[in-house]
Amino acid sequence: MINEKFSKIGFVLAMAGSAVGLGNAWKFPTMVGNNGGSAFIVLYLVLTFCVAFVAFLAELSIGKLGESDVVSSIYKLAPKHKRAWSLSGFFMIGAVLIASFYMVVIGWILKYIYLSFGKLPVTNEQAGAEFDTLLTNDAFSAILCFSIVFLIVFFAVSKGIKSGIERLNVWMMPSLFVLLFGMLCYSLTMSDGFVKAAKFLFVPNFDAISADTLLQALGLAFFSLSMGVGVIPTYAANLPERTNLIKSTLSIIFINILIGIMMGLVVFTFIFAYGGDTTQGGPGLIFVSLATLFAKLGVIGNVMAVAFFVSLLFAGVTSAVSMIEPFAYYLVRKFDFTRKKALVYIGILVYVLGIACVLSYYKPTAQNFSVFGKPMFDALDYLTSNIMMPIGAIIFSAFVGWVLKKDGLFFLFGDFMGKFWFEIWYFALRFLVPIAIFIIMIYQILGK
Ligand code: PHE
């Protein structure tokens, strides 16, 4: 069994690596764009601190107190009904399911890195057609790129917590930051676009807030902090002794928000400077709008495009790694599998599902890969983001808030937050968090 733990900084970077991902690069700017900019950010910040932060600490405590994989930790900690409670640990399978379609998207990013070295599409139609071709006509490229990403991610996880995951994060996260920072500096030279982008992101416009915005912001906060699918307890089980849990969590949340905002500033500076559409959603914003904007800049555009897509690649890979680890860690600890053997089993599942996701967009096979009338890709995204993550987060919070002993939690957190804040946290965990998650879930299932 591999028994190495994270170093303190390694833990923060790995957890931030998990949090910072395609969610920040794609969901964040898209949702900000669609929901009136700054108002959405304000809401997102409030919900991140009042709800997500509270539940995050609960998940941390499961890992830290249980010191094992999610299933065994919960089993160990539950005073009664051990078996039933420990079943909730299997929400970690949600992370494996996310990995399958998430790595397909990282595959597209890889393809765009390659394209960024050549001629970028000049018009929106061209860019749209090019992206469409990759999805619906060029299954070979999509599968090839997915396979490369798959190998990189599984190779990193196979090296274990310290020499694999920590090492990867320790160089990818700072590189991501440097690349983004460089792009941000460049954005500053487009002063007109930059000022408009900053205004759009930071000058509050509260008219744009509605119930819908509220719920979207909460959903994003959960997705973005990798909640409800066992990632946080698994990483926390590998924390070094005497880590200041509050300081680490705040750093992780701060990095997550900072990178989201930097991404937002870069993306919107380009969009405003060149008259792109702020409300274009999903892949459109990144793979279509931004690609054409880069094309307008000539060679510098190529450099920017490479830097941008490489930073997305790093953000994505560090998240993907965290999706595989919980289940691998479980198989290794529970069944004494070697890491390699565990990864072969998980790998087969992820690879098959990933290919199915690619084929669910590929025109000739799309029909055979639809589930409940949705392409497999969308179905998996829906099942995990809208159902498994919120339910997982609710169960983990309820377990810590209602089942675990308050003394044990105070022992864990008391030193770092004091009695006053501990009581507030405990109250929020028991009442605010379940109610908030319940509402968002019902809303998402019933459709907008
Ligand atoms: N937080 C990641 C992102 O923002 C996604 C993620 C979800 C990672 C679930 C791990 C587990 O892209």
**Segment 382-397, tens digit of pLDDT:** 889 888 888 999 999 9
* Best of 93, 232, 322 for a ligand 1 pocket test (most atoms within 8 Å of beta carbon): 322
Least confident among 149-158, 231-240, 374-383, 394-403: 374-383
Least confident among 169-173, 217-221, 389-393, 395-399: 217-221
Index of the ligand 1 atom closest to the CA of residue 315: 12
* Best of 44, 169, 319, 325 for a ligand 1 pocket test (most atoms within 8 Å of beta carbon): 319
- Residue 282 clears pLDDT 90, i.e. is over it: no
Looking at ligand 1, which residue's alpha carbon is closest to its atom 11? 226
Distance between CA atoms of residues 14 and 157, nearest Å? 12
Within a domain: residue 3?
A: no
Mean pLDDT of 275-289: 70
Mean pLDDT of 209-232: 86
pLDDT score at 250? 96
| Bridge partners for 375 per DSSP | 370
Q: Residue 331 has which token pair?
A: 């198989």
The total number of structural domains in the chain stands at 1
**Amino acid sitting at position 143:** I
How far does residue 30's CA lie from ligand 1's centre (Å)? 16
Phi, then psi, of 2 in degrees rounded to 5? -85, 125
pLDDT score at 1? 42
C-beta of residue 302 within 8 angstroms of C-beta of residue 284: no
Distance between CA atoms of residues 415 and 364, nearest Å? 60
What's 400's domain CATH number?
Answer: 1.10.4160
Q: Does the beta carbon of 16 sit less than 6 angstroms from any atom of ligand 1?
A: no
Q: Does the beta carbon of 231 sit less than 6 angstroms from any atom of ligand 1?
A: yes
Least confident among 81-90, 211-220, 265-274, 400-409: 211-220
Instruction: Give the helix/strand (H/E) hosting 169.
Output: helix 167-189
- Residue 156 clears pLDDT 70, i.e. is over it: yes
**Segment 342-374, tens digit of pLDDT:** 999 999 999 999 999 999 999 999 999 988 889
Within a domain: residue 257?
A: yes
Q: Does the beta carbon of 213 sit less than 6 angstroms from any atom of ligand 1?
A: no
Within a domain: residue 221?
A: yes
State the average pLDDT for the chain: 90
Within a domain: residue 129?
A: yes
Index of the ligand 1 atom closest to the CA of residue 316: 12
Mean pLDDT of 314-323: 96
Distance between CA atoms of residues 115 and 108, nearest Å? 10
Mean pLDDT of 104-128: 90
How far does residue 313's CA lie from ligand 1's centre (Å)? 13
How far does residue 222's CA lie from ligand 1's centre (Å)? 9
Within a domain: residue 1?
A: no
- Residue 444 clears pLDDT 80, i.e. is over it: no
**Segment 196-206, tens digit of pLDDT:** 989 888 887 77
pLDDT score at 398? 96
- Residue 97 clears pLDDT 50, i.e. is over it: yes
Residue 119 is classified by DSSP as P
Query: Which of 202, 26, 169 shows the shortest CA–CA distance to 101?
Result: 26
How far does residue 98's CA lie from ligand 1's centre (Å)? 8
Within a domain: residue 2?
A: no
Give residue for tokens 């929020």: 428
- Residue 148 clears pLDDT 90, i.e. is over it: yes
User: In sequence order, what DSSP letters do the residues of 337-357 get, joined into one string?
Assistant: --HHHHHHHHHHHHHHHHHHH
Query: Residue 324 is part of which domain span?
Result: 8-446
How far does residue 448's CA lie from ligand 1's centre (Å)? 23
- Residue 63 clears pLDDT 90, i.e. is over it: yes
Mean pLDDT of 102-128: 91
C-beta of residue 44 within 8 angstroms of C-beta of residue 225: no
Phi, then psi, of 402 in degrees rounded to 5? -110, -20
pLDDT score at 281? 59
Within a domain: residue 30?
A: yes
CA 382 to chain centroid, in Å, comes to: 15
Specify the pairing of strand 370-371 against strand 374-375.
Answer: antiparallel
- Give the CA-trace dihedral at 65, 343, 98, 56, to 10 degrees: 10
Task: Report angle CA 321, 325, 329 to the nearest 5 degrees.
Answer: 165
The confidence band for 145, taking pLDDT boundaries of 50, 70 and 90, is very high
Within a domain: residue 76?
A: yes
